[in-house]
């Protein structure tokens, strides 16, 4: 998930720079405008990304204005990468790092854990998030500004994901309720992995 997140920021900044030179704070502002401020970036993250892009030959430092702002410009290679990103689908990967799914899967296999309570607690939080997103989306629908449209696009994506999560929680609760709790619990395995940190040798 962290790798996908980093790639999205990297490619988004390239796509913005493809419109013209920008300095760091300006890039952060443009990213916020185009994502509805739903994914806050700090300036340090912006400059770290720019440094990596410069190292990879995708951007270059340009002019400095009277206020000391360093304007970054995109290279031909950077423009090509931005175009490739926009034309290509996002690969989700074969596995998952979704914290909710991992947490409930682990909880379901731990003896003595009330996994039904874990699910209920998550459902309450997911439902509250869904209601907040619906309210935000409804407010954006009354505005014509491009920034409101951008925010509503991201909000609706999160809203549909929250709806799917609630359906998945219901389904998971039904599946677990149909099985005896003791049939799910896993004790620690007695089999030791063959690989690992070697034992310390006596001095």
Distance CA 46, CA 116 (A): 41
CATH of domain 2-86: 1.10.10.10
3-state DSSP assignment of residue 136: helix
User: How far apart, in whole angstroms, are the C-alpha atoms of residue 178 and residue 173?
Assistant: 9
- Measured CA to CA, the distance from residue 198 to residue 65 in angstroms comes to 57
> What are the tens digits of pLDDT across the range 25-44?
999 999 988 887 777 888 89
Strands 70-74 and 59-64 come out as antiparallel
* pTM of this prediction exceeds 0.85: no
Give 83-125 pLDDT, tens digit per residue. Answer: 999 998 887 776 667 889 999 999 988 888 899 999 999 999 9
Lowest mean pLDDT among 2-11, 167-176, 188-197: 2-11
Domain extent listing, the chain: 2-86, 99-184
Nearest one of 147, 100, 82, 134 to 1, comparing CA atoms: 100
Please check whether residue 25 is in contact with residue 43, taking contact to mean a CB–CB distance below 8 angstroms. yes
The beta strands (E) that lie in the chain are given as 59-64, 70-74
């Amino acid at each position: 998930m962290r790798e996908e997140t980093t790639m999205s920021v990297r490619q988004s900044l390239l796509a913005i720079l493809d419109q013209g030179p920008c300095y760091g704070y300006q890039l952060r502002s443009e990213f916020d405008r185009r994502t509805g401020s739903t994914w806050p970036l700090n300036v340090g993250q912006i400059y770290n990304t720019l440094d990596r892009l410069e190292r990879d030959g995708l951007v270059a430092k340009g002019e400095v204005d009277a206020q000391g702002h360093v304007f970054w410009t995109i290279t031909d290679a950077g423009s090509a990468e931005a175009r490739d990103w926009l034309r290509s689908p996002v690969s989700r990967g074969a596995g998952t790092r979704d914290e909710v799914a991992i947490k409930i899967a682990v909880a379901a296999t731990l003896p003595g854990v009330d996994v039904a309570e874990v699910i209920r607690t998550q459902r309450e939080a997911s439902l509250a998030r869904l209601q907040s997103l619906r309210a935000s989306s409804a407010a954006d629908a009354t505005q014509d500004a491009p920034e409101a449209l951008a925010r509503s696009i991201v909000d609706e994506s999160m809203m549909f994901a929250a709806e799917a999560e609630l359906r998945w929680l219901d389904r998971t609760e039904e599946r677990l309720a149909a099985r005896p709790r003791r049939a799910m619990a896993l004790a620690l395995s007695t089999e030791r992995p063959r690989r690992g940190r070697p034992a310390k040798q006596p001095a």
